[in-house]
C-alpha cells in the first residue's frame, strides 16, 4: 500500500517538470539579450560571460526600430 506522501511527491514532480519545460524559451530569450553577438555565435554557455545592456540601448535609441511598431 502506498503512502500518501509518496503519491503527492509524484504529482508535484510532473507539473514542476512541465513548468520548467515551458519556461526554457523565456530563459533563452532573456539569456541571449544580455550576450554580445560574438558570444551568441560562439560556444554554448548557460550564462553570459560578459553581460551587457548594449542590445537594449540599440533597441531604445535606434529610430529605425520603431518603424515595425508604426507599421503594425
Higher-confidence residue: 70 or 38?
A: 38
pLDDT tens figures, 13-37: 889 999 999 999 999 999 999 999 9
CA distance 27 to 68: 24
* Confidence label for 4 from pLDDT (cuts 50, 70 and 90): low
The pLDDT value given to residue 67: 78
- C-alpha cell at position 50: 560578459
Closest C-alpha among 25, 49, 27, 18 to residue 36: 49
Q: If you average pLDDT over each of 6-10, 27-31, 62-66, which comes out highest?
A: 27-31
| Residue-range domain boundaries for the chain | 4-71
DSSP secondary structure of the chain: ---HHHHHHHHHHHHHHHHHHHHHHHHHHHHHHTS-HHHHHSS--SS-SS---HHHHHHHH-GGGGHHHHH-
Amino acid at each position: 500500500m502506498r503512502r500518501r506522501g509518496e503519491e503527492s511527491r509524484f504529482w508535484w514532480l510532473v507539473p514542476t517538470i512541465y513548468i520548467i519545460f515551458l519556461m526554457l524559451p523565456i530563459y533563452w530569450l532573456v539569456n541571449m539579450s544580455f550576450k554580445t553577438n560574438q558570444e551568441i555565435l560562439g560556444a554554448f554557455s548557460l550564462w553570459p560571460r560578459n553581460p551587457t545592456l548594449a542590445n537594449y540601448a540599440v533597441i531604445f535609441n535606434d529610430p529605425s526600430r520603431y518603424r515595425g511598431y508604426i507599421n503594425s
